[in-house]
Structure 1
Amino acid sequence: MDNTFEGRLLIGATGSAAVATLPMYLAALRTVLRGPITVLMTHTAATFLPAHTAGLFADRVVTGADPATWPADNHATLAAGHDLTVILPASAHTLSTVAVGAAPNMLATTVLAATHPVAFFPVMTAEMWAKAAVQRNVARLREDGYHVYDPASGPRYDVAAGAFVESPQPPPPPRFLEIVRELMG
């Protein structure tokens, strides 16, 4: 059975240390997605994962850092040029920003301009995820028609504790691929 699917995917990468796992998701996408993959990185995401590393797996990486790229790589062209936007990882900051309709960076502005489905995959500490403010933002995003997927729970290394702790994290790549396939229709 052929499990490939087609579409133009925009992945918004935010400033969570979990962005370091993005190449694993991009590599998994390459095995089933027939269509271009663009990664739109926030400034903070690019501090955790160099844009050129994401570029090894994506057709295009946009950071907005070079004004010469703004005419072709702006919020309107990015939103119009894709069939689905997924935010992976979605930081608490990004959830809050989009929930209130703010546009302080190219990623938030692109999400506001999107007429196609937008999905968020939150990643943060368990303490952050449990906060009432974060849960209010998640509820608001869902009310506004966005897809927000509760994080999976699993072990991650906590540098401060010097040990592995149970923590919210993105779904494993096979589940992520299922979700993207479903949203691409």
Structure 2
Amino acid sequence: MLAGKHLLLIVGGGIAAYKSLDLIRRARAEGAEVTPVLTRAGAEFVTPLSVSSLAGKRVFSDLWDLTDEAEMGHIQLSRVADLLVVAPATADLMAKMAGGHADDLASTLLLATDTPVLIAPSMNVRMWEHAATRRNLATLRQDGIAVVGPGTGDMACGEYGPGRMAEPSEILDAIRARLGGGRLAGRHVIVTSGPTHEPIDPVRYIANRSSGAQGAAIAAALAGLGARVSFVTGPAEVPPPPGVDAIRVETAAEMQDAVTRALPADAAVLAAAVADWRVANASAHKMKKGPDGAPRLEFAENPDILATLSRAPDRPRLVVGFAAETDDVLANARAKLARKGCDWIVANDVSPATGIMGGAENAVRLLTPEGVEEWPRAPKAEIARKLAHRIAEALA
């Protein structure tokens, strides 16, 4: 799919640099030409020989190579490619890009180019969450830089959280999307994610333990394949991924309204853990303890977003629902598939012992008219990519 495309790959100095070797191999397998640039710090993690061997090209690293600079080689390098990819994009490289620095070959190339740029951030969780990095990221996005990842998981430093560089397959999806060759280019997909909060009073609400991680990963994977994604998210722990149209809601009613407004669409993936009930007699004031004991709450059923969408006149061609179960997972998922009228159901066991609800991994069963597929436990980003590619096949 990348035949005839020229990528300039800048490898920054981080432990994730080893993934860049696989990225080179995969990109070349799809027909891309890859010109590698290795920073001085990057060379501490992968060798120029290994990078050069996989790329089939010389590695560039020194701005002051007189043979190249006699003809302003850094200008030429930065403009002959179809896309500049920075993987890993360290906190230092992102800061240089945001500040317009040009004190080595990589930063000079990035400043001298008028070619689109895609970065795959990779760093310690504290560095990723630092205010300076957040400012730099916002600046880069405002400048038109595309971002893929980072993912959440265990760090080489022993910590856990966001900051892991996206996997090579995910970066390749983003490359295809950036170059206009994604499998879902021109398609519109609605994705719902996270919990809903149903108010009891101004300070209390009914919710569940959904982090929104799986829905966000699905939205990112679909956008990586070139889809235009309307991402309807409840108050989730995980922020919306870059490259999607984020629509924030609180309640199930608001989510249903947002989904309806987002139509028409080619597909919809309803991954949100929507509360089944709301408090019909929610108080406008904070409820206080009193001599009469606990307040009596009256419940009303929330709108069934999946069933409503599946039967809508402007129904998407493919509607995918989720079934989060703690007992009789397959039986309950089959019943839900028949009851809701959707095309596919992604079922998972969210019993407390699995650690899936709110965790970094998932294990699912995909129910389609053709049967049941067992997908083994894997990072949620990997489950999302697999689902995105299945959606692309179905819409092809």
TM-score w.r.t. the length of structure 2 is 0.42
- Is 1:48 the counterpart of 2:45? The answer is yes
Q: Which of residues 168, 172, 180 is equivalent to 1:177?
A: 172
How far residue 72 of structure 1 moved from its aligned partner, in angstroms, is 6.1
How many Å separate the matches in 1 of 2:168 and 2:150? 13
Q: Which of residues 25, 28, 46 is equivalent to 2:23?
A: 25
How many Å separate the matches in 2 of 1:37 and 1:72? 21
Deviations 1:113-136 (A, max 9, x none): 111110111100111100000000
Counterpart of 2:131, as a letter, is A
Q: Give the total of aligned pairs.
A: 178
Change (3 A) 1:73 1:11: farther
- Is 1:11 the counterpart of 2:9? The answer is yes
- List aligned pairs for 1:79-158, cutoff 5 A: 79-158=78-157
**Is 2:6–2:83's contact at 8 Å kept on the other side of the alignment?**
yes
Q: Name the SS of the counterpart of 2:54 in structure 1.
A: coil
How many Å separate the matches in 1 of 2:153 and 2:70? 41
How far residue 155 of structure 1 moved from its aligned partner, in angstroms, is 2.8
Counterpart of 1:27, as a letter, is R
Higher helix share: 1
Q: Name the SS of the counterpart of 2:118 in structure 1.
A: strand
How many Å separate the matches in 1 of 2:2 and 2:32? 10
Q: Name the SS of the counterpart of 1:43 in structure 2.
A: coil
How many Å separate the matches in 2 of 1:4 and 1:78? 19
Q: Which runs of 5+ in 1 are unaligned?
A: none
Change (3 A) 1:145 1:4: closer
How far residue 30 of structure 1 moved from its aligned partner, in angstroms, is 2.0
> Quick one: higher RCO (CA 8 Å, sep 6+), 1 or 2?
1
Larger Rg: 2
Change (3 A) 1:155 1:142: same
How large is the Cα RMSD of the aligned pairs?
2.0
Change (3 A) 1:17 1:93: same
TM-score w.r.t. the length of structure 1 is 0.87
How many Å separate the matches in 2 of 1:111 and 1:22? 18
How far residue 21 of structure 1 moved from its aligned partner, in angstroms, is 2.3
Q: Which runs of 5+ in 2 are unaligned?
A: 181-396
How many Å separate the matches in 2 of 1:4 and 1:148? 19
Deviations 1:32-60 (A, max 9, x none): 1x232011111111122111110111132
**Is 1:10–1:38's contact at 8 Å kept on the other side of the alignment?**
yes
